[in-house]
């Protein structure tokens, strides 16, 4: 399915020309600089030299350096950017190389990094414009013509013990665990990179951990985590699966640490998490999880193989057992036979507009909302599993967050650091919800506000200095400079900047501060820490966005897939967001990454020990 939120083609001839013409008349604002000689070689495609161009990415400006000789683009290098590591890396790697290899600007964006891709290409266009390039000619791409030979694609077959479908957090956890339990593993990933939603996540990992919680004065227990997860999902989650989740949370965190992953020494309350038990990795976003798995896989490359751009289309069955898959690769068909079994770890369907609209029975309209998900989260694994009679649970349970970037729907740019030290106000400057409530409660309240738009407001307690980073590794001063956050020395000035009533904003902060003092709140809030009373004050805009799909394939505690009659489908396992029945109607914040790690680890062990 085509992703409505992405750029299938980042740049076109008309877009290039429009951009060049618009910039030609305002050269003072162009970031292009030239070291080229003034003389132009006749008949040359470019004026030889080194040029730079700067364009907007998702997190700020991207500056690219382009070197050309008279007839070719010879080098493209990123000079400076603030794009998120792990998410944009492939764009900076692949796009410049594709431009050089094809000597063309007609290159595709990198899936999952479309805004970064657009910024890279636009910066290159600006540099090449200064080099005297014919942008229209460089933007033309010849159509591929069928030669009529009718030649079939090459078929490549593989044999392995364990096959994992999906190279996100759950799939890589399963691959590592399967290998640790003695199996040879192949991982198929339809995207051009590993990481899935995990690598772009906020990274919070919920588990009961006295070693970190007790020094902070936090009382917690496995039973409380179970209760909050069960009740937080309207008691619709499977209690056995929830118990498996919460009891294995801390041992799984220790498993990650045993492989070199580092977590910070303190816990916090993540949005909708209900309790301070969220662990934050030292590395930004979800890169710590993926880096840990990838490092292990590289160290054991003889036994674990990852194939990218391998889009699985069909589960192969024999005598009622899953024995492998058929997949489309780049210009080839891939067939993988798995002697022990197959683990489905393809994630949810938050990026599939048609699928979420078809299953939605809870929200008014999900057709126009953006998503926090990467573009590969299209529910393919759920569809394939259903085709072999796997049972599906809770498909109507789709989680929205009130924390989407107004432009992209992503979590990037979110200025909150934790639940306790910030408030939400609407476009009138008024609080409207318990900011420590469940995610569905907060989002439902936001949907009732004008333009379904709100502001997060907080102060210096969250950002001690301008170089403090948010949960997505973005520097607060950079967000302010880019116009994605606002900063002021008074609440009245902040109100003026964001266009809300100053008296209302001051009253909203006073209401919160009274709650800090008294522990009571007009909206029923109970999670507090510091008052919002110390400048500078900050605000950031947020809108509703599709975040998580709680429904999916039914599994048992060993992650074996169950059919519509409740029977195990031999050789078939599943883990992560592709599964259903664990979280119920609502997932607690911070429970996703522990879910994929716990059940990914269990899946790897279960399939490796398959007789």
Active-site residues, by number, are 439
Cα-to-chain-centroid distance, residue 185: 25
**Residue 186, helix vs strand vs coil:** strand
Spatial distance between the Cα atoms of 569 and 320, rounded to a whole number of angstroms: 7
Q: Which helix (H) or strand (E) holds 18?
A: helix 13-24
Residues 6 or more apart whose Cβ sits within 8 Å of residue 418: 268, 269, 270, 462, 529
Please state, in angstroms and rounded to a whole number, the distance separating the CA atoms of residues 15 and 499: 33
What gap in Å lies between CA 527 and CA 519, rounded to an integer?
8
Please tell me the distance from the alpha carbon of residue 245 to that of residue 75, in angstroms, as a whole number: 50
Q: In the structure encoding, which two tokens stand for residue 52, read together?
A: 């730079």
Note whether 185 and 304 are within 8 A (CB): yes
Report helix, strand or coil for 78: strand
> Alpha helices of 195-352 — where are they, by DSSP H?
210-213, 222-232, 239-258, 287-299
- Cα separation, 282 vs 511, in Å, equals 34
Residue 356 phi/psi, 5-degree rounding, is -70, -30
CB atoms within 10 A of CB 219: 10
Q: And the tokens for 439?
A: 């995610």
Q: Which residues pair with 486 in a beta bridge?
A: 539
Cβ atoms of 94 and 110 within 8 Å: the answer is: yes
Which residues, 6+ apart, have CB-to-CB distance to 422 below 8 Å?
415, 416, 435, 456, 457, 458, 462, 532
**Whether the Cβ atoms of residue 82 and residue 476 lie closer than 8 Å to each other:** no
Give the integer Cα–Cα distance in Å for 281 and 105.
Answer: 38
**How far apart, in whole angstroms, are the C-alpha atoms of residue 32 and residue 28?**
10
Beta strand 154-165 pairing with 185-188: parallel
User: What is the C-alpha to C-alpha distance for residues 97 and 111, in angstroms, rounded to an integer?
Assistant: 16
Give which of 171, 176, 173, 205 is closest to 191, Cα–Cα. 171
Phi/psi at 18 (nearest 5 deg)? -60, -40
- Distance separating alpha carbons of residues 495 and 486, to the nearest angstrom: 10
The gap between the terminal CA atoms of the chain, to the nearest Å, is 37
Q: What is the gyration radius of the CA atoms in the chain, in angstroms? A: 25
d(CA 249, CA 230): 15
């Amino acid at each position: 399915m085509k992703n409505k939120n992405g750029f299938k083609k980042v740049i076109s001839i008309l877009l290039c020309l429009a951009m060049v013409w618009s910039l030609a008349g305002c050269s003072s604002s162009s970031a292009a600089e030239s070291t080229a000689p003034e003389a132009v070689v006749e008949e040359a495609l470019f004026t030889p030299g080194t040029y730079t161009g700067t364009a907007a990415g998702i997190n700020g400006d991207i500056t690219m350096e382009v070197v050309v000789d008279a007839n070719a683009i010879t080098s493209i290098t990123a000079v400076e950017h603030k794009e998120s590591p792990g998410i944009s890396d492939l764009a900076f790697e692949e796009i410049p190389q594709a431009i050089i290899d094809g000597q063309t600007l007609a290159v595709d964006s990198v899936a999952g990094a479309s805004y970064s891709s657009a910024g890279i290409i636009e910066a290159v266009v600006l540099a090449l414009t200064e080099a005297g390039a014919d942008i229209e000619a460089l933007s033309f791409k010849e159509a591929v013509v069928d030669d009529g030979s009718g030649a079939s694609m090459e078929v490549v077959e593989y044999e392995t013990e364990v096959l994992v479908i999906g190279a996100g957090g759950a799939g890589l956890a399963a691959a590592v665990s399967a290998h640790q339990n003695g199996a040879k593993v192949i991982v198929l990933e339809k995207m051009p990179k590993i990481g899935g939603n995990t690598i772009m996540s906020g990274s919070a990992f919920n588990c009961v951990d006295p070693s970190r919680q007790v020094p902070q004065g936090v009382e917690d227990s496995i039973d409380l985590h179970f209760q909050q997860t069960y009740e937080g999902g309207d008691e619709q989650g499977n209690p056995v699966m929830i118990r498996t989740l919460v009891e294995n949370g801390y041992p799984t965190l220790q498993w990650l640490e045993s492989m070199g992953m580092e977590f910070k020494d303190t816990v916090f309350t993540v949005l909708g998490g209900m309790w301070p038990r969220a662990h934050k990795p030292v590395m930004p976003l979800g890169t710590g999880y993926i880096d840990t798995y990838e490092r292990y896989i590289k160290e054991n490359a003889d036994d674990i193989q990852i194939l990218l751009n391998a889009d699985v289309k069909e589960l192969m069955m024999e005598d009622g057992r899953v024995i492998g898959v058929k997949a489309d690769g780049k210009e080839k068909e891939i067939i993988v036979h798995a002697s022990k079994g197959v683990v489905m770890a393809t994630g949810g369907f938050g990026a599939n507009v048609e699928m979420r609209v078809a299953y939605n029975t809870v929200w008014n309209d999900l057709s126009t909302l953006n998503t926090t998900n990467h573009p590969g989260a299209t529910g393919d694994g759920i569809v394939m599993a259903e085709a072999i009679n796997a049972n599906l649970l809770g498909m109507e349970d789709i989680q929205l967050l009130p924390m989407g970037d107004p432009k992209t729907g992503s979590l990037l740019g979110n200025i909150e650091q934790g639940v306790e030290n910030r408030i939400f106000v609407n476009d009138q400057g008024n609080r409207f919800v318990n900011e420590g409530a469940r995610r569905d409660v907060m989002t439902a309240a936001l949907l009732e506000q004008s333009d379904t738009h709100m502001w997060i407001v907080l102060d210096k307690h969250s950002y001690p200095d301008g170089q403090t980073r948010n949960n997505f590794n973005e520097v607060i001063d950079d967000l302010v400079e880019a116009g994605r956050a606002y900063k002021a020395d008074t609440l009245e000035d902040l109100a003026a900047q964001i266009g809300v009533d100053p008296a209302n904003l001051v009253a909203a902060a006073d209401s919160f501060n009274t709650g800090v003092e008294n522990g009571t709140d007009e909206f029923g809030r109970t999670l507090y820490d510091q008052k919002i009373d110390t400048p500078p004050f900050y605000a950031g805009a947020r809108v509703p966005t599709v975040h998580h799909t709680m429904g999916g394939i039914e599994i048992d505690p060993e992650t074996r897939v169950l059919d519509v009659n409740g029977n195990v489908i031999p050789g078939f396992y599943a883990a992560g967001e592709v599964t259903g029945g664990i979280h119920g109607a609502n997932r607690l914040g911070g429970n996703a990454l522990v879910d994929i790690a716990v059940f990914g680890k269990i899946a790897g062990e279960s399939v490796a020990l398959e007789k």
